[in-house]
Structure 1
Amino acid sequence: MSRPDQTSYMLRAAAGDAGRAYKRQLIDLLDIQVGQTALDMGCGPGTDLPALAERVGDSGTVIGVDRDQAMLTRARERTDGLHQVEIREGDVHDLPIEPGTVDRAKIDRVLMHVAEPADALAQLHHVTRPGARIGLAEPDWDTLIVDAEDLRTSRAFTRYTTEEVVRNATIGRSLARFAEQAGFRVETVLATTPVFRDFQEADHTLGLGRNMQQAIDAGRVDRERGHRWFTGLSAGPFYASFTLVSVICSR
């Protein structure tokens, strides 16, 4: 299976029940005030920018930063007419933001993909003000479980996902440590468990088919066994889940 269009993938993942719930919680815990400057670091297609704009009000500023042109285009379309939103092209390792100017910031499922998570958090510390509040949310893919009669193949799928598919697959469990090492004070650590009962939704979000095919092609799973595993999942009933870690910290 080919990798899905990333902008559509992110929008669909955010629109699901699990996506909406943790995003709302993360933004609520940021305690954004009217007139503040809020940063969405790695904003993607701008899923959360309207909600941030609502919190800062007409007198505040929301800055969305991403390096992907397709994401930036969708983010600009999504925030057309929201005068307080600024979309900036940039890398999380070198933020296009003046030092000490951000009051609130969030990083949502970005650090698992970046080359140097510690450097990205150091950049975030550089651009935030003293007293700023920061929200981080990342999965821990070692905790991915997929129910199947063939438990051995389910475990092989999770190992392959962790070792080969996601760059920083266990970043969720390390978030609090990384935040403290970057100079932030950790205030809250939460763990939630998104649950998938719909096979099609899980296949889209978790990459069941495409990642299993990659594992087969890499010789990590027997071809017949992998195809039988995937076919069995699609026949249902279905269950999969993983742990998502959210950290709220201050500067």
Structure 2
Amino acid sequence: MTSTLFETVTPDAHVYLDRLATTDLGRSYKARMLDELEIRPGQTVLDLGCGPGTDLGSLAEAVTATGRAIGVDHDQAAVDAARERTAEQHTVTVQLGDIHDLPLSDGIADRARTDRVLQHVADPAKALHEIRRVLRPAGRIVMGEPDWGTLTVDHPDSDLSRAYTRYVTDKVIRNARIGMQLPRLAAEAGFTVPTVIPVTPVFRDVHAADKILGLERTTQRALAAGYLTEDAARSWLEHLVSGPFLATVTFYIVVAES
């Protein structure tokens, strides 16, 4: 039930983040998020959940030598990697911290971003209140999150497609519908939400999709969890390899202002 077409080993998280950033999809949505931040020279911008610092360089370039780019991540290994990557960029600092309780003063930042972070946190509403605390009046945050309930992978048996997506939303992603929910949650945290931008990539190449979605790894976990039978999992993967492939999922870019 395996194919050399699929990745069977989960990639290192830092490798995955860097790899996604180099895809056409990653470059496109990240550029749109940067545009929506409307960063001006001299501002202070936060990258919350910065990971290994994949995006800190572009933020540092936007604020110029007169501004500050601050990365925050809860994982020490990510903080260490981001610090090493940005060691020559003197406007960049990276701190260890929890997005629910940021190690930052009130009103410290003009801009902030989160990129596929809130889908994983314990309490998105609390995180949004904390982000609002550290933003200055008229500050702006741009958030990018998928809505995994929109994940559609074509298969002749639509029940298998639904079972696969149901497993992802039930078991794989903590806040699987956060993309759709984010405008409401931001408003409830006291933000105004002037802009919501849906981005729906269409994957036609199964290999490219697997690099992002982990198709076989997720299928094996869905089988173990009882969402798919052995026969269903085999049928599912065989068609993904041999048949015309199409998959989509909607990613939301949400702009909020304090």
Does the TM-score normalized on the shorter chain lie above 0.5? yes
List runs of 5+ in structure 2 lacking aligned partners: 1-7
Q: Give matches, 1:1-251, under 5 Å.
A: 1-251=8-258
The offset of 1:163, in angstroms, is 0.6
Query: Secondary structure of 2:195's partner?
Result: strand
CA distances 1:203-250 after superposition (whole Å, capped 9, x unpaired): 121121111101101111011221221122122432111001111111
Give, in angstroms, the shift of residue 2 of structure 1. 4.1
- Verify the 8 A CA contact 1:7 1:70 in the aligned structure 2: no
Counterpart AA for 2:97: G
- What are the superposed Cα offsets for residues 82-121 of structure 1, whole Å, 9 maximum, x if unpaired? 1100010111011111111100001111000000000001
Question: Residues of 1 paired with 2:38 and 2:68: CA distance?
Answer: 15
Q: Which runs of 4+ in 1 moved over 6 A?
A: none
Contact preservation (8 Å) 1:162, 1:169: yes
Please give the TM-score of this superposition, normalised by the length of structure 1: 0.97
Counterpart Cα distance in 2 of 1:250 and 1:218? 41
The DSSP-based 3-state class of the residue aligned with 2:255 is strand
- Per-residue CA deviation, residues 9-59 of structure 1 (Å, 9 max, x unaligned), is 111122211111111001111110000000001011211111100000001
Q: Residue 4 of structure 2 corresponds to which residue in structure 1?
A: none
Q: Aligned partners of 1:236 and 1:62: how far apart in 2?
A: 46
Measured after TM superposition, the shift of residue 197 of structure 1 is 1.8
Letter matched to residue 116 of structure 1 = D
Secondary structure of the corresponding residue to residue 110 of structure 1? coil
TM-score, L = length of structure 2: 0.94
**For 1:69 and 1:46, how far apart are their aligned partners in 2?**
12
**How far apart are the structure 2 equivalents of 1:161 and 1:57?**
40
Q: Secondary structure at the match of 1:93?
A: coil
- Supply the distance in 2 between the matched residues of 1:167 and 1:227 (Cα, whole angstroms): 27
In the alignment, residue 199 of structure 1 is paired with which amino acid? V
Q: Secondary structure at the match of 1:200?
A: helix
Corresponding letter in the other structure for 1:212: T
Q: What do residues 126-153 of structure 1 show as CA deviations (whole Å, max 9, x unaligned)?
A: 1110011110111000000111222211
Aligned length: 251
Identical aligned residues as a percent? 50
Cα distance in 2, alignment partners of residues 129 and 161 from structure 1:
37
Any idea what SS the aligned residue of 2:122 has?
coil
- Deviation for aligned residue 1:78: 2.4
Residue identity opposite 2:42 in structure 1:
G
Post-superposition shift, 1:80?
2.4
Single out whichever of 195-204 and 14-23 deviates more from structure 2: 195-204
Q: Distance in 2 between matches of 1:196 and 1:77?
A: 34
